[in-house]
Amino acid sequence: MSAFKRTLATVAAVASISLVALGAAPAQAAQKPLKFGALIPITGALAFLGAPIKAGYALAVSDINAAGGVNGQKVQIKYADEADSSTPQVVKDSASSLLTWGANVILGAASSSNTKNAIDNIVAHKVVQISPSNTSPSLTDWPDNGYYFRTAPSDLFQGAILGNQIIASGNKKVAVIYQDSAYGVGLDASLEKAVKAKGGSITASVKFSTGASDFSSVVTQALSGGPDAVAIVSYDESLQIIPALKTAGFVGGSKIYLVDGNHKDYSSNTFASYLNGATATEPTAGVNTKFQKRVAALWKKTTGKKLTDFTYSTQAYDAAIVAALAATAAGKNTGVAIKGKLTGITAGKTAVKSFVAGVKALKAGKKIHYFGFSGPIDFDKNGDPAGGTIGVFKYGNAGLSTLTKVIAANAVK
């Protein structure tokens, strides 16, 4: 080596030592991407909700990634079946699989009972869980160490609104047929309380097990007290309960009341016209045609299928967006970091209505308040939306429903 080269080598070595002494270090590697693990009902009595919920998640991920992703990384999402709460091992195994994959956020489950089956394992991994459709009041005070959130309001609101609608329509004697699950028990209790508070009476309160298929005796019990109206708190079991009511001679039509778990398209069923005038309730901020066109277009493009049901698609979209904004606010894609920012991004003074607007405001040092397609979320200390809105729908002769009004949940007395 020449003297000149030895001199350059010495200078370089000294410079390197000096940088180390000053604390300089190699640039940090980019952090791992934000991973959404989604528990959705691919099979079971809630399978009809699988498509709209998955479509909502997919559109949110598409919008997030089109805006550059989160903390320099594109968001990833993986889906797994939650099935029915009557087969709890399915959702438990699915949750474990998603956690092993490295999910930082678990979206779902759709069913409150399935969330109860999986939540403890999720929390133990310090992973945030956000459901778009859990409505059971019993989840409000679940010991989740602050890791559980939902973008749908509690059934304390939906039950009260449905009960008010039943009595306001001139019914005094009400029978309730409800699913024996966290969802069914909670909604039934709220509904019955509202009916009694408005001067009505419950002539029968009949529960059935998830997965049941024969409802003849259930319907016989429900009708034994001569009710003016029948409320059905169920999932897809309504496909057996409604025709059983018709066979038993119940008047049907405007005397039947449904809830979010069975508010669906019945146009292809032989009993469709029997529901003419029936009422259904569902958490919603109203029909957003622009959103529905976007989510349906992406669904058609990616699956080749037509999306006709949009139940909980807005809540699913917002669940993914608030998680991404929380990670952005934290600057980290970890469950612990996201947990620490979720409540704050729905309570700031700067209103934002999109992921792009939220990121821009956060980078400007502003405290944001995300208003989603499902309405204002306003997470409270329990991870519940502080308010929310419930839609009231009416069925026509063809077995399809139309939104008639939207009621602020926290305005119900």
The per-residue pLDDT for range 171-213, each reduced to its tens digit, is: 999 999 999 999 999 999 999 999 999 999 999 999 999 878 8
d(C-alpha 193, C-alpha 203), whole Å: 13
- Per the omega criterion (within 30 degrees of 0), is the bond before 272 cis? no
- List, for residues 343-401, the tens digit of each pLDDT value: 999 999 999 999 999 999 999 999 999 999 998 889 999 999 988 899 999 999 999 99
Q: Where are the beta strands (DSSP E) in 148-251?
A: 148-150, 173-179, 201-208, 229-233
Task: Name, in order, each residue with C-beta under 8 angstroms of 400's C-beta and a sequence gap of 6 or more.
Answer: 265, 266, 267
pLDDT at 388 (0 to 100): 86
Neighbouring-strand partners of residue 406: 391
d(C-alpha 43, C-alpha 81), whole Å: 7
Question: Residue holding tokens 């919008």?
Answer: 63
Buried b (16+ CB within 10 A) or exposed e, 108-134: bbbbbbbbbbbbeebbebebbbbbbbb
- Tell me how crowded residue 264 is: count the other CB atoms within 10 A of its CB: 23
Nearest Cα neighbor of 388 from 156, 189, 232, 143 is 156
- Tokens representing 144? 């989740």
199 secondary structure, DSSP code? T
- Tell me how crowded residue 4 is: count the other CB atoms within 10 A of its CB: 8
Residues 1-26 have a mean pLDDT of 39
- List, for residues 216-256, the tens digit of each pLDDT value: 999 999 999 999 999 999 999 999 999 999 999 999 999 99
Would you say 256 and 278 are in contact if contact means Cβ atoms under 8 Å apart? yes
- List, for residues 16-58, the tens digit of each pLDDT value: 433 333 333 333 446 799 999 999 999 999 999 999 999 999 9
- Whether residue 3 is predicted with pLDDT greater than 50 in this model: the reply is no
d(C-alpha 164, C-alpha 169), whole Å: 9
H/E segment holding residue 375: strand 375-376
d(C-alpha 287, C-alpha 23), whole Å: 57
**Pairing, β 279-283 against β 389-395:** antiparallel
Would you say 254 and 277 are in contact if contact means Cβ atoms under 8 Å apart? yes
Distances (CA, A) of 8 to 12, 17, 19, 20, 22: 6, 14, 17, 19, 21
What the chain holds in terms of domains, given with CATH numbers, is 35-153+288-386 (3.40.50.2300), 156-284+390-411 (3.40.50.2300)
